[in-house]
């Protein structure tokens, strides 16, 4: 495994991030524990989760699975850089949206941290991430709450997820004016070959302010994982977002060109999509969300995969990015 600094921090993290969203809804506890053990064995030290994972009446379940894994000991917690998120509604009855059980008020941040620590069976969270921007709560209030948690030793760093570039700038400018917290140190955004809008402003803002970029959905819902090849060879039809996308003939032709190019180079599509992200400026490491140990092994192989210039050029031709702003929408 290869490691890098997380943004401008001194924290060293693996170039792949273990995403845990499937733990509970699709992968049972025993298999989830096996995947986490496998991740450590492969050198992955950066684990990502969120308080709402498990979803619906089972929200919080994913954090609980991670907590029971930590409880097994063996220095599991010490080896992991743990990131979780706050924003989604965690009202206890599972249906009613109670006031102050979501978003980023100081009250909810305090409540959510304590609940996550309990489920995770740990006394601190390495990176506490805002799962979405809160249009009502001022950053002065948010940073005040974060300062308290840092002083209490309950969190070490703060990060964002799904933030536009201007919110990254606003958050860190306010943090700098206030003093205390160092501001955001990471941004988790939707970014992959088929979805490159983050290159316009989100990634440049993250680079300007020293945030590590953590792309989620690196295979774009399976679309970049050899979906057409799997249909042809194994009769496994695409489902969900990938199936919807392939219903568009132009998208299907684009994905076919992508798979044909990689077949020419003898490279698996999913590994190529991850390896491409690892070549992108500002990217710390993409989030991989394996449902099985075999999927984890395939993702790990991408870290050492060197993509030739000819292939990188071909990928840009198939999936042209928008280019940086303002040139992407101006002269």
Active site residues: 53
Q: How far is it, in rounded angstroms, from Cα 7 to Cα 149?
A: 21
Would you put residue 251 in left (φ > 0), alpha (ψ -120 to 50) or beta? alpha
Are 104 and 134 a contacting pair, CB within 8 Å? yes
CA dist 30 → 23, 24, 27, 68, 154 (Å):
10, 10, 8, 10, 28
Beta strands in the chain (DSSP E): 3-5, 12-14, 17-19, 46-48, 81-86, 125-130, 155-161, 184-190, 212-216, 287-288
| Burial of 3 per CB tally in 10 Å (0-12, 13-18, 19+) | middle
Strand partners, 129: 85, 159
């Amino acid at each position: 495994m290869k490691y890098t600094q997380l943004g401008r921090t001194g924290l060293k993290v693996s170039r792949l991030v273990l995403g845990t969203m499937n733990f509970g809804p699709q992968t049972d506890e025993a298999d989830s524990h096996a995947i986490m053990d496998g991740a450590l064995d492969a050198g992955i030290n950066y684990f990502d989760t969120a308080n709402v994972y498990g979803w619906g009446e089972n929200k919080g379940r994913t954090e609980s699975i991670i907590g029971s894994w930590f409880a097994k000991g063996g220095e599991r917690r010490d080896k992991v850089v743990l990131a979780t998120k706050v924003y989604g509604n965690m009202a206890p009855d599972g249906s009613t949206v109670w006031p102050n059980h979501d978003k980023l008020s100081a009250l909810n941040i305090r409540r959510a941290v304590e609940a996550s620590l309990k489920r995770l069976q740990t006394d601190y969270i390495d990176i506490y991430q805002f799962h979405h921007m809160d249009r009502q709560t001022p950053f002065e209030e948010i940073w005040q709450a974060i300062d308290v948690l840092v002083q209490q030793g309950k969190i070490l760093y703060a990060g964002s997820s799904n933030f536009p570039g201007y919110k990254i700038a606003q958050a860190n400018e306010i943090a700098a004016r206030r003093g205390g917290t160092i501001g955001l140190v990471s941004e988790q955004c939707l970014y992959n070959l088929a979805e490159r809008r983050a290159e316009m402003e989100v990634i440049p803002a993250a680079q300007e302010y020293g945030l590590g970029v953590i792309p989620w959905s690196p295979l774009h819902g399976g679309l970049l994982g050899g979906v057409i090849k799997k249909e042809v060879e194994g009769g496994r039809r695409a489902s969900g977002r990938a199936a919807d996308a392939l219903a568009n003939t132009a998208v299907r032709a684009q994905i076919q060109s992508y798979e044909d190019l990689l077949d020419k180079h003898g490279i698996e599509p999913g590994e190529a999509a991850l390896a491409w992200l690892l070549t992108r400026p500002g990217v710390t490491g993409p989030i991989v969300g394996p449902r099985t140990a075999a999927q984890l092994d395939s993702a790990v192989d991408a870290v050492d995969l060197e993509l030739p210039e000819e292939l990188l050029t071909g990928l840009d031709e198939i999936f042209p990015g928008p280019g940086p702003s303002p040139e992407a929408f101006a002269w």
